[in-house]
Copies of this chain bind each other. A is one copy, B any other.
Amino acid sequence: MKVAWAGSQHAVEVADRMARLVASDPVFRKDTRTMLSRKELFKDTLKKAAHAWKRIVELRLTEEEANLLRLYVDQPGYVDLHWGMFVPAIKGQGTEEQQKKWLPMAYKFQIIGCYAQTELGHGSNVQGLETTATFDPSTDEFVMHSPTLASCKWWPGGLGKASTSLRLSCSSHNGRKRLWHTWFHCAVAKLDDHSPLPGVTLGDIGGKFGSGAYNSMDNGVLRFDHVRIPRDQMLMRLSQVTREGKYVHSDVPKQLLYGTMVYVRQTIVADASKALSRAVCIAVRYSAIRKQFGSQAGGPETQVINYKTQQRRLFPLLASAYAYRFVGQWLKWLYTDVTQKLEAKDYSTLPEASCLYCWAQVCDNICHTDAIEECRKLCGGHGYLNSSGLPELFAVYVPACTYEGAMRFAVAGCKVFDEDRLSGGHWEPTCRHRSSHGQHTALDAMQKRCKYSRRLVNPAAVKEVFEARALRMAVNCAQNISKAPSQEEGFSELSPDLLEAAVAHVQLIIVTKFIEKIEEDIPGPGVKEQLQKLCSIYALHLLHKHLGDSLSTGCVTARQGALANEQLGKLYAQVRPNAVALVDAFDYTDHYLGSVLGRYDGDVYPALYEEAWKDPLNETVVPDGYQEHLRPLLKQQLKLSRL
């Protein structure tokens, strides 16, 4: 199962090696991280980043190994943005000359870069950005300026304290009205003493959700006061401003930009899958340790994992962890595929990448933080303690839902169904590239009935239900939109329904990818069988949760819905004996999990007890403040006539 999870024997081996390398290094300890002050925490992040780099260089690690090492260090910091956003942006948007100039410096950390787009008053809407770059032909420079408070750059990770450079999004013009959306490579801190360059105000935007968590990152605020930079700092691969101040497009197709976007999305989905699987691992292991109530008064208490209610909440999350893992593997494949095709100037897969762009967002927003929080609840009271690792996991993962602005969600949801497809009645499942069904017309699908009259145990039957549901919801939307006075109005009015249809579509893709996975040749005794069960749990619990969709569109009958629910109960009982093995297959070290509840050895209570005494509040038995604020209260002599 470890191989199925990791993707290959090689992947198991290298991940395991890097995880142990980090876990055994005292510099990477994180057990008291939530007790550090903001300044101590940030300093600790700088220290870990420098040490990680030192190890990467000393051990001459490959890119794959270096990425894994950083993953297992598990502390958000400027390096994430440097490697994950800055370098890819220079690669994607810089000319060959610019790449040659800046990439070697970035690769050696002679500059540290981040990615500055969001502004205090503006999220993902690049058209709304207020930061201006005014071209001054007299000096061949751009003048960077933040004309309003709302135009301050706000949120970019690594910007506040660590970065020396940015990849900047702003509106440029040549002194007249016309504005273009442009990108720059822009230095912000002096390389000799790290102080901000003249005209640049830099700072951290303040504390964020949770202790430890994302507070290790210096999300920053940046204000420009007429800062001049040479024209050739503009990233000119896709468009240029000439010496005369004229804006021209290059012949490089705009679609190439999608490459970077797909890459970033792919990473987000992969991170989401990681965070979810860590939470599930903790919840499953602890549920097998924790006992509560007995079957009869006075008898021994029962492991909570044996309660049906616990199983119904926990096992779908376990199945989801696998589902997201496999869809993540597919996305990685898709990224490589799209990139290769783009490089060969084949843009045929772009609509698919565009869909992907939206649905990664949809599933992130909907599924993951809720799922992590659900895992925390399933650990009862102790899940609320920082030592459980779950609060930090939740808080650190939350921004992934926020990166691109939650409100944008609305718009993204609608784009999954573009107008042509809907009004034309055509249906191209995103998953078609391996689908046996090919294209359907809307009419086909509306007439189709689920032919499996009783049980939905057959993957083909399940997939058909999900296909029918997604399609019928989309067609319903299209029909309702066509009744609106204008298409724009219809889209706006129906956007919540479109969103629900988009969710149905996303779920279809995930179910499909899971089914495809279990159709593969999977080595190891019983592995395939376990995955089949998880796949059924994933699909049937969604069917149960969204039964209204399927019933109202006539995809299943009430009787089938009831049978599916019954079937779920049986599947939970079958998965129960292997539940712990199924999370052990993730192969996470105790260091990476960072949870006393999720310890591999199950020795939870002594660990909880020991962790408690580390709290600064326990440095003294009688608390600081007793003399000033408790003793006078306890010693007072009061007359309290009204109380």
Contact = CB atoms under 8 A, between A and B. Distances in A.
Contacts of A406: 377-381, 383
**Copies of this chain:** 2
Interface stretch (A4-12, A137-145, A511-519, A610-618): A610-618
A201 to B, nearest CB: 9
Interface in A275-323: 290-295, 297-298, 301, 304, 307-312
A-side interface mostly: helix
A155 to B, nearest CB: 6
A193 to B, nearest CB: 7
Contacts of A561: 548, 552
A127 interface: yes
Contact of A634 (B42, B164, B210): B164
A497 to B, nearest CB: 7
A218 B378 contact: no
Contacts of A638: 57, 108
A109 interface: yes
A386 to B, nearest CB: 4
Nearest to A193: B622
A495 B612 contact: no
Interface residues of A, number: 163
Given A109-B633, A209-B210, A402-B380, A308 B623 contact: no
A209 B162 contact: no
Interface in A369-421: 369-370, 373, 377-381, 383-387, 391, 394-395, 398-399, 401-403, 405-411, 413
B293 A411 contact: yes
Contacts of A625: 42-43, 46-47
Contact of A499 (B309, B394, B546): B309
**Which of A291, A378, A615 has the most CB atoms of chain B within a 10 A radius of its CB?**
A615
B634 A205 contact: no
Contacts of A611: 206
A328 to B, nearest CB: 22
Interface string A182-222: 00000000010111100000111111111100110010010
Contacts of A383: 402, 406
